[in-house]
Amino acid sequence: MITLYGIKNCDTVKKATKWLEANDKAYQLYDFKKQPLTTELLTSFVELSDWSLLLNKRSTTFRNLPDEVKNNLTDDVIFAAVLEQPTLLKRPLLPLNNELHLGFKAEQYQVIFG
């Protein structure tokens, strides 16, 4: 079964779940608001991607970070900040076939599941 990571009320996550349902893809949603983002899970995301792609710098959460965090984006600082506030991650996250797919575009999912 596919696990999609994100937040249930996120518009992009809603689009992804609608696409999965419309295309008969069984999935479960790991909702960061209801289930904690663990160190192990975040480590697995980082191993499959890069902070420059994972971090949602356009989010309100990122904009509200203290300047000392935004101006010191080392791996350790980012890791701690994301564990505390998972909404710093782009959503949805879809780990599949040893790749991590970020965000949602219908065309991208068509290729992934084609």
Structure tokens at 6: 């994100």
Among the listed residues 7, 10, 20, 82, the single catalytic one is 10
CB 88 within 8 A of CB 59: yes
Is residue 10 part of the annotated active site? The answer reads yes
DSSP assignments along 83-108, one per residue: HH-GGGB-S-EEEETTEEEES--HHH
| Strand spans (E) along 7-106 | 27-31, 93-96, 99-102
| Side-chain-facing half-sphere of 62: CA atoms under 13 Å | 14
Please list the active-site residues. 10
